[in-house]
Amino acid sequence: MAHILSLSTEQESRPTLTLRQVGTPLLSPGVPTYAPPYVGYQNLLLLTKERIIADASDLILKNVSEVKGVIFGDMKRVIGLANSRAAPYTCRVLAGCDMRADLVTSAYGQILVHKSQSKIHIEHDNKTKMEKLGTLPIAGRVVLDALAGPGTLGLMSVLMGAQKVILNDAWLPAVENAYLNLQANREILGIRTLRRASVKKRASSRAPNLYCTATTDHTVIELYHGEFEEFNIQDSGVQLILFDSFPNAERYFMDMAEEIRKRYPEIDIVCI
Residue 123 DSSP label: P
For 124-271, CATH gives 3.40.50.150
Question: 3-class SS at 253?
Answer: helix
Annotate 177-207 with b (16+ C-beta within 10 A) or e (fewer).
bbbbbbebbeeebebeebeeeeeeeeebbee
pLDDT tens digits, 222-255 = 999 999 989 999 899 999 999 998 877 778 888 8
pLDDT tens digits, 78-99 = 899 887 777 899 999 999 999 9
Domain edges within the chain: 2-76, 124-271
CB of 150 closer than 8 Å to CB of 174: yes
Q: Which residues pair with 89 in a beta bridge?
A: 80
Taking the complete model, does pTM exceed 0.75, yes or no? yes
Give the CB-side neighbour count of residue 203, counting CA atoms within 13 A: 9
